[in-house]
Amino acid sequence: MLADIEEFYRLDRLPHIWCPGCGNGIVLACLVKAIKELKYDQDKTVVVSGIGCSSRASAYLDFNTLHTTHGRALAFATGIKLAKPELNIFVITGDGDSSAIGGNHLIHAARRNIDLNVVIFNNNIYGMTGGQYSPLTPKVQKATTAPYGTIERPFDLAKLVEAAGATYVARSTAYHTRLTTELIINGAKNKGFSVTEVISQCPVSYGRRNRFNTPAAMLEWQREMAVPVIKARSMAPEELEGKIITGELYRGHAPEYVSEYTKLTQRLKEEAEGV
Amino acid sequence: MPKDPANIGKPEVAIKDSWCKGCGICVALCPKKVLVMNAQGKAVVACPEKCVGCKMCAEHCPDYAITVEVE
């Protein structure tokens, strides 16, 4: 156990149920380290998750936690933020949970620019249900529902949320632990909708079908494929084919939803009192 | 257990055997080959004196089974 962060875990629930070599534990530790570095009060921090392997994470954490319904973590988180804007809210969601079942919640939460910090554990597959391909499974890669390789183009989730209105968008991998922590910290400091996509590994449902013989091979693949965003800017699109662009990808400015809502209620209250 | 005087100031790597699921990530990522897999398929510290305290193993252990103490 990483002794310096164990105060944030429900130790009686560990060891966790994730498969050997699963990246979820690694990415979760990065998130916990980020919360520790941010010095957020444990009782004023909320972790909301949806459904899926990664969403199981909330059960292991000693914050205020909600393990909600499939794809709806952002809807629950939105409610919490509106009711208690002083709370620091982190949303843990997987690639399927965020981009398929919860796709609409994701784009509309981004459009509102509500002050939530989303960490997407992207392992490119529906692991828990047996390895069906998700909207983030790379083209030609195999899944139980794509035994000859998927013919669908995956989403570029970072571009999607940027276009939808998120004001902080970043990407890292499970291999790049320190970068992941740093990006989550920066996302939390952004007053608005922050998304950090972390490429993770599912050795059992994805790796085995796609010629990754070991979990370590998947981490090494992440290291090899990662291109820092500064370097990527000077590379041609064909050179970036299949690469993972990492770092802070986008930062924007837009009115934050809870602030706008507070302003509205304030104005209406004043008008009512003035009558 | 008191530390061997020869190892004072050196990083110390420890593995919680009951939490190790034997994924092999630590063994593969360790730049100094400090760790090996044992006959039961779990990671063990084979060459503690080679550890440089980089924490690659601890940071990438999905099961929080590894602790590296650097003085």
* pLDDT tens digits for range A155-183: 999 999 999 999 999 999 999 999 999 99
CB contact under 8 A, A20 and B67: no
Q: Which domain holds residue A135?
A: 7-274
Domain count, chain A: 1
Mean pLDDT, chain A, integer: 96
**CA-to-CA distance for A132 and A125, rounded, in angstroms?**
6
H-helix or E-strand spanning residue A251: strand A244-251
**Among candidates B25, B27, B58 on the partner chain, residue whose Cβ is nearest the Cβ of A2:** B58
pLDDT score of A90? 98
Name chain B contacts of A178, Cβ cutoff 8 Å: 59
Kindly state whether residue A223 falls inside one of the protein's structural domains: yes
Task: Characterise A85 by phi-psi region: left (phi > 0), alpha (psi -120 to 50), beta (else).
Answer: alpha
The interface pTM score, or ipTM, of the predicted complex is 0.91
A68 Cα to chain B: minimum distance (Å): 24
Residue B13 pairs in a beta bridge with: B68
CB contact under 8 A, B61 and A26: yes
Which CATH number does the domain housing residue A31 bear? 3.40.50.970
List residues of chain B with CB under 8 Å from any CB of chain A. 16, 18-19, 21-25, 27-29, 58-65, 67
A18 Cα to chain B: minimum distance (Å): 8
Kindly state whether residue A263 falls inside one of the protein's structural domains: yes
Kindly state whether residue A2 falls inside one of the protein's structural domains: no
Percentage with pLDDT > 70 across chain B = 89
Give the pLDDT mean for A3-8: 92
The answer to whether A50 and A69 are in contact (CB under 8 A) is yes
pLDDT score of A1? 57
Q: Tell me the CA distances in angstroms from A223 to A157, A234, A235, A246, A259, one per residue in order.
A: 20, 19, 18, 10, 40
Q: Which CATH number fits domain B5-69: 3.30.70.20, 1.10.3210.10, 3.30.2290.10, 1.10.3720.10?
A: 3.30.70.20
pLDDT score of B5? 66
Asked whether the predicted pLDDT for residue B4 surpasses 70, the reply is: no
User: What does the domain layout of chain B look like in residue ranges?
Assistant: 5-69
Kindly state whether residue A1 falls inside one of the protein's structural domains: no
Q: At what angle do helices A73-83 and A257-274 cross, to 10 degrees?
A: 40
* pLDDT tens digits for range A49-90: 999 999 999 999 999 999 999 999 999 999 999 999 999 999
* pLDDT tens digits for range B6-30: 666 789 999 999 999 999 999 999 9
**Among candidates B18, B24, B59 on the partner chain, residue whose Cβ is nearest the Cβ of A215:** B24
The answer to whether A97 and A51 are in contact (CB under 8 A) is yes
Kindly state whether residue A25 falls inside one of the protein's structural domains: yes
Length of chain A: 275
* pLDDT tens digits for range A100-153: 999 999 999 999 999 999 999 999 999 999 999 999 999 999 999 999 999 999
Asked whether the predicted pLDDT for residue B43 surpasses 60, the reply is: yes
The answer to whether A17 and B19 are in contact (CB under 8 A) is no
The answer to whether A94 and A112 are in contact (CB under 8 A) is no
B5 Cα to chain A: minimum distance (Å): 24
